[in-house]
Amino acid sequence: MTDPQLAMVGLAAATVASGLMVLAPDWRLVAIGLWLGYGALALVVGTSLVFSAGLVKLVGGSLAVGVLWLASRPIRPSGPRPGGLVGRLGFRVIAFLLVWLSAWSLGRMEWLSLAGLSAVARAVGAMLLTMGLCQVGLFQHPFRVGIGLLATVAGFEAVYAPLEPSLAVAAMMVAVQLGLALAAGYLASRWAWEPPGQPVTERRR
């Protein structure tokens, strides 16, 4: 496969992943979307460095998704609340399309091609990073925020791993992603009985 073809495959995978994360109402589809995002990351790293490095990213990502899945399964975090603006599918579709366009143009920016970064790395990196940030901005639930942050870090890694291929950095990034998944999972498990956003006294009234 040539570099432009790989870029198209990577972009398609990242788009499907992002679409699931932002648009899907079911938490399992959202988690699967993140896992697909890690698949796109593995494709980038596997083609930019060595196959095994991509595999490590996929295994690390799968562990992070697994941690979030296990933490969220007992509480089954629902989709966005139907009452709010974010709950409207139309709003989320518009947000998705706008962010997709931004990601696409960001991936073509000159300064990201500094060190001969491949087109697929730029495309996947920009897509996951911006969609992750979109997810963090749209939702308040720790599960959704955790998914968004993990997608953001995955997007960052798509760009950073080919630039800084050391084993220590790869290990540290996997550890950070597991830590993020644990922290988000911990907060998500508490959400079930104590939703945030307002002080306890106000809720009591």
Least separation in angstroms between residue 86's CB and other proteins is 16
Listed in sequence order, the residues at least 6 apart from 183 whose beta carbon sits closer than 8 Å to its beta carbon are: 146
The two three-digit tokens of residue 85, written as one number: 């603006």
Alpha helices in the chain (DSSP H): 3-23, 27-48, 51-72, 89-107, 119-138, 142-163, 167-191, 200-204
In angstroms, what is the C-alpha Rg of the chain?
17
Least separation in angstroms between residue 191's CB and other proteins is 6
Least separation in angstroms between residue 192's CB and other proteins is 11
Residue (98 or 172) nearer to other proteins, CB: 172
Least separation in angstroms between residue 66's CB and other proteins is 17
Residue (36 or 129) nearer to other proteins, CB: 129
Judged by the rule CB under 8 A, the positions of this chain that interact with other proteins are 111, 114-115, 136, 140, 142, 145, 149, 152-153, 156, 159-160, 163-164, 166-169, 171-173, 175-176, 179-180, 182-184, 186-187, 190-191, 194-197, 199-201, 204
Contact 42, 57 (CB under 8 A): yes
Residue (2 or 166) nearer to other proteins, CB: 166
d(CA 132, CA 154): 9
d(CA 183, CA 174): 14
Residue (4 or 195) nearer to other proteins, CB: 195
Residue (74 or 199) nearer to other proteins, CB: 199
Residue (7 or 184) nearer to other proteins, CB: 184
Least separation in angstroms between residue 129's CB and other proteins is 8
Written as one letter, the residue type at 33 is G
Least separation in angstroms between residue 162's CB and other proteins is 11
The two three-digit tokens of residue 140, written as one number: 């308040």
The two three-digit tokens of residue 78, written as one number: 């629902």
Q: What is the torsional sign of CA 161, 38, 19, 47?
A: positive
